[in-house]
Each structure stands twice: as structure tokens, then as C-alpha cells.
Amino acid sequence: MPIKMNNFSKSEIKAVLIIFVFLILISTPNFIVSLRRARDTQRKADIGSLYEALNKYQADFGAFPLSIDAKIAACAPVKVIEQLPKNIVVFSPCNWGKDPLRDLADDNYPPYLKVIPTDPSARAGFAYYYLANGNRYQIYGALEGKSEAEYDPKIVARNLPCGVKICNFGKAYGRTPLDKSIEEYENEIR
């Protein structure tokens, strides 16, 4: 006669454990894919909010913030360069995930972004990549899923580092292409 433990036999407990292990094994890959898709959805939303904020910034100031070290250079003023007819202010790069994108001269004006977003996998080394010359900009990210509609192998060919990954999707001002540098594009349209 089998030994009963809490009204279940050893073979019944083994069967239940095997079923649980089987369920975990078949559901884990789907769970991992859903987490990746959620991170990629967040990346697309972040790039979209940056796109909208940068366009509003340009509408107010007549230029896009410059880029320094692949970051948006629109935070604390570093220095003023005196030139005629007006002075030029050089700003420091903003920190992803910490600094707002706002009008530094007017604290009462609502920020374009309360916090410039950071990649959802920043702790794993992922990052966004910003390029701008004042007239045009390109903002890039690295999707984890190559099956995403926004994944672009032409961007991958540029070999831009989005942290530990190579950038593979993005948005740009107007017709500025993402598969070539802003300088290349401006030379072509001249």
C-alpha cells in the first residue's frame, strides 16, 4: 500500500509536479517574447515622444538642439560665445532618463518632455542615439526583435552604437533619411 501524504500518493504528487514543470517549460518562451515586445513597444513610444518634443522645440526656437556625444545638448548653459549680431549659447548634453527638455530661460513654460526618456534596458547597456546640426536631427534606438516593422537593416549598416547594441530603427526631421548622415543628405540636396 503506497504511503499517503496529505491525502495524495507519491505518484499523484509526481504527476502534478510533472504537469507544472511541463506548463512552465512551454510558457517560458512566450513570456520572454512578450517581455521583449513590451520593451520594443516602449522604445517606439519613447522615440515617438522625442520626435514630437523636438519638433515643438524647433517651432519655438527656430532650431533643433545640437548633439554632443549622441545626447541632446539642451541642458545647463556651458558658455556664451560672443558674436555679432547676437551671442551664441552652448549647452551641455542632457542625461537620458534624468533631465527634462525645456526652455531654460523660462521656468514657467511647460517642458517639452518632463524627462528625456532612457531605453528600457539601459541597465543592460542599451541607449538611444541622437544626432543633430540645428537644422535636422536623427534619433535612433535598438529594437531587440528583428521581426518588428520598424527594424531597418539600412540603419544597421551605419553601425551606430545604441549602447551595447547597434541602432536599427529611428525617426528623423522631415525627409531626413536614417540610413545616411545628416551631412551626406545635405550635400545631396544642395
CA–CA dist 184, 158 (Å, integer): 12
Q: What gap in Å lies between CA 99 and CA 95, rounded to an integer?
A: 5
Cell of 145: 526583435
Higher pLDDT, 149 or 7: 149
Strands of 129-132's sheet in order across: 129-132, 137-141, 169-172
The size of the chain, in residues, is 190
pLDDT at 7: 80
pLDDT at 2: 55
Residue 117, preceding peptide bond in cis (omega within 30° of 0): no
**What is the per-residue pLDDT across 8-66, written as a single tens digit (0 to 9) for each?**
788 878 877 887 777 777 767 777 888 999 999 999 999 999 999 999 999 999 999 99
Distance CA 163, CA 150 (A): 19
Q: List the domain range (segments joined by +) for residue 142.
A: 4-189
> What value does the mean pLDDT take over residues 110-135?
96
User: The pTM is what?
Assistant: 0.83
Distance from chain centroid for Cα 6: 53
Q: Give the sheet arrangement for strand 71-81, strand by strand.
A: 66-68, 71-81, 88-93
Residues with Cβ within 8 Å of residue 185, at least 6 apart in sequence: 136, 176, 177
Based on the structure, what is the number of domains in the chain?
A: 1
User: What distance in Å separates the CA atoms of residue 54 and residue 112, rounded to the nearest whole number?
Assistant: 8
Judged against a pLDDT cut of 90, whether residue 133 lies above it is answered with: yes
